[in-house]
Amino acid sequence: KQIVVIGGVAAGASFAARVRRLNEHARIILVERGKDVSFANCGLPYYIGGEIQTRGALSVQTPETLKALLNLDVKTHTEAIRIDREKKQVYVKNIISGEDEWLDYDKLMLAPGASPRIPDVPGIHHEKILTLRNLADMDRISEVAKAGKRAVVVGAGFIGLEMAEQLHRKGLSVEVVQYGPQVLPQLGKRMAKLLENELVQHGIVLHLNDRVVRYENRNSILECFLESGTVLKADFVVLSVGVEPESRLAREAHLVLGKNGHIVVNDFMQTSDADIYAAGDVVETAHRLSNERTAVPLGGPANRQGRVAADHIFLGEKARPYPGSLGTAIVRVFGTTAGTVGWSENALEKNGRSYGMVTVNDFHHAGYYPGAKPLVLTVFWDRDTDVLLGAQAAGQEGVDKRLDVMATAIAAQMTIDDLVHLELAYAPPFGSAKDIVNIAGFAATNKRDGLVDTISELPDNPDAQIIDVRAKAMADADPVAGGINIPMPALRNHLDRLDRDKPVVTVCALGKNSYFASRILKQNGFDVKSLEGGMKMMT
């Protein structure tokens, strides 16, 4: 068999490697437009910032090692230009030498990825308005960063935030422009706020609800004119406003594309032509939870999809389908890490799902063990079935572990009751006997069972009695507007201070004591709600 692969990075290289492990005799030709194959795109920001110091560390493989290890014929600087489905051939051209040829294929893999979106804004096509996708882009940004002092990052998604952090680390002054009201639109507002605080504390200027409407180059300084009227001056700009699938080849070959231009594939990554597979950022697949079509441009899905396609070609009936993507993603911004898996609140709302949601605070390991860091976890579940739908976490330590536990639980279609009884690794340096994941299960099942009613913001209702159950010193230092401080241990003895005809809201620092207080009040006949997540989310 002759297998031709277009695109030699995450999905393409994983596919080719798996093909070789399954078939020693196939001829595998890997066609890559760029200079490099199989490089670590996800590591690029960290080289720019200097955390990764060796450029070579990012080249996971080279054409030579791929030949030696996997017997792949790698053609770099070579662009696939056209597919002839009738003849089962691809027309490719070396963009340096100009040499061209038609390659025969028995099976073709399209793994061309996605390219950074360039908004249609006057002045945007400038040599110092840059995007980051490959090693050449990285070198260019490193070069201008060395010479520059001021950078503007447009877009505060995952890559934008990583770039803001790393350019700051490099000693540049950084401003971030974000169209929406918060960084990382996938995250809940309060979690996004933690990342925003972190940026601001490091001196990064954040322009939310704003966008660049024009760029002008004045004496080698780029002026970014924002919709709000603000003008930012920069030595260079990094654009990170999303990606677009590179599906031109597929479109011109009349393969079926989705509404946003992604290649439509079945569960085995086959396109509408059974001999052409596609994987990675260029495809849309089923969402693992909803079965709806979705595009998840992340490294994990790309690698696993490549493997699925190879299995389908060579393993026959033993091949297992791609189960769909969950969208598990994480980012670190200086000392704070945040991430998400599965459905977000916005997506649940948009889809009209009936869902429950709980936010809990705790520490990443036993609070009494030195170095315990606060952690916040939000969990979403289906109200009808109690099955988990999504989770988000933020904190300084242990965020990745909780997200991964939740990703596993969600993939296994566990319920909020299952979270209660997950038996997680515990000794004081690592976790807690009741890990925050268990606590989320406790809180979710308490909510479901009507043991507690919660609110997420302090009420406007002037009749509401806001009972602050924090210790007096804490309440004095950071008073709640309109609140009455009755520390939790004293509450049972002061019930007569409260009006039973008026609603009560209990408030504490992290949401736990206010829940305890609400249980006391509820069992004493009060109409009570607890402020979920508490007053301070990890200050």
Separation of alpha carbons 1 and 159, rounded Å: 39
DSSP 495-528: GGGS-TTS-EEEE-SSSHHHHHHHHHHHHTT--E
If the CB atoms of residues 112 and 533 are measured against ligand FAD, the closer one turns out to be 112
Distance CA 31, CA 27 (A): 13
Question: Given 40, 42, 208, 387, which residue is catalytic?
Answer: 42
User: What's the burial of 231, exposed, middle or buried (CB within 10 Å: 0-12/13-18/19+)?
Assistant: exposed
> Shortest Cβ distance from residue 389 to ligand FAD (Å)?
21
By CB under 6 A, name the binding residues for ligand FAD. Answer: 6-7, 9-12, 31-34, 41-42, 44-45, 79-80, 111-113, 132-134, 159, 246, 249, 280-282, 297-300, 302
31 forms beta bridges with 6, 75
How long is the chain? 539
CB closer to ligand FAD out of 384 and 400: 400
Query: Cα 190–192–195 angle (5° rounding)?
Result: 120
For ligand FAD, give the closer residue by CB, 132 or 538. 132
Minimum distance of ligand FAD from residue 24's CB (angstroms):
24
Q: How far is the CB of 362 from ligand FAD (least distance, A)?
A: 26
Provide, rounded to whole angstroms, the least separation between the CB of residue 428 and ligand FAD: 31
Residue 481 vs residues 307, 494, 496: alpha-carbon distances, Å: 57, 20, 22
Structure tokens at 197: 């605080």
| Nearest residue (CB) to ligand FAD, 141 versus 419 | 141
Between 261 and 356, CB nearer to ligand FAD: 261
Q: Is 224 a catalytic residue?
A: no
Min CB(47)–ligand FAD separation in Å: 10
Under DSSP, the state recorded for 292 is -
DSSP state for residue 135 in the 8-state scheme? H
> Buried b vs exposed e over 265-276: b needs ≥16 C-beta within 10 Å?
beebbbbebeeb
Number of residue whose CB is nearest ligand FAD: 280
Residues assigned a catalytic role: 42
